[in-house]
């Protein structure tokens, strides 16, 4: 639920930045809210990605 709310907020900010929502009363639609939530998940995934060290394969 919180992801959906945050996605709608992100979609509103992005929509205003690119000129989709010019009036203050314009709210993002369902599709933009879902895209905002997906964008948040991608940002979260990139930020919390584990960095693993790859050991070289040693053959005897």
Q: How large is the angle between the packed helices 30-47 and 2-18, nearest 10 degrees? A: 100
pLDDT tens-digit map of 2-49: 777 888 888 888 888 888 777 766 777 778 888 888 888 888 888 887
Indicate whether this model's pTM tops 0.75. no
pLDDT for residue 44 = 84
pLDDT for residue 54 = 66
51: confidence class by pLDDT, cuts 50, 70, 90:
low
User: What's the Cα-to-Cα distance from 50 to each of 29, 38, 45, rounded to whole Å?
Assistant: 34, 20, 9
């Amino acid at each position: 639920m919180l992801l959906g709310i945050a996605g709608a907020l992100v979609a509103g900010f992005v929509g205003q930045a690119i000129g989709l929502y010019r009036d203050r009363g314009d709210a993002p639609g369902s599709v933009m809210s879902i895209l905002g939530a997906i964008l948040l998940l991608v940002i979260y995934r990139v930020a919390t990605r584990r960095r693993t060290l790859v050991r070289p394969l040693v053959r005897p």
